[in-house]
Amino acid sequence: MTVEELQKEGYYSIREIPGQGLCGLMKFAFTTGLVIGMDNVGYKGRYCYSSAVDAQKALEEWGGTGDPAGPWIKYKGMGGERENNYGGCKNCNATR
């Protein structure tokens, strides 16, 4: 998929991250997802952030190794789901 096609689907701030492929942001019902490994079939996974600002900062700063920085709530994708133990978002709908 091209960047233009991904943008038509609602993805934004799309960029190539070494080892992760095309990555970008997408607004979901209760979170902003930092979406990784986007291709013609779908995506490899996403990190859910309660704040679009935090997701944008993480996308800009992440070098592709380990997990992105910041207070992501949950990872969903290849390898299953897991929560971040940073202690955030206790009162939002994103973790329920």
Whole-model pTM: value is 0.87
Each residue of 23-71: pLDDT tens digit?
Answer: 999 999 999 999 999 998 899 999 999 999 999 999 999 999 999 998 9
Angle at 71 between CA 87 and CA 54, to 5 degrees: 150
The residues spanned by each domain of the chain are: 3-95
Residue with tokens 């940073």: 86
Ranges assigned E (strand) in the chain: 12-17, 21-27, 32-38, 45-49, 72-77, 82-83
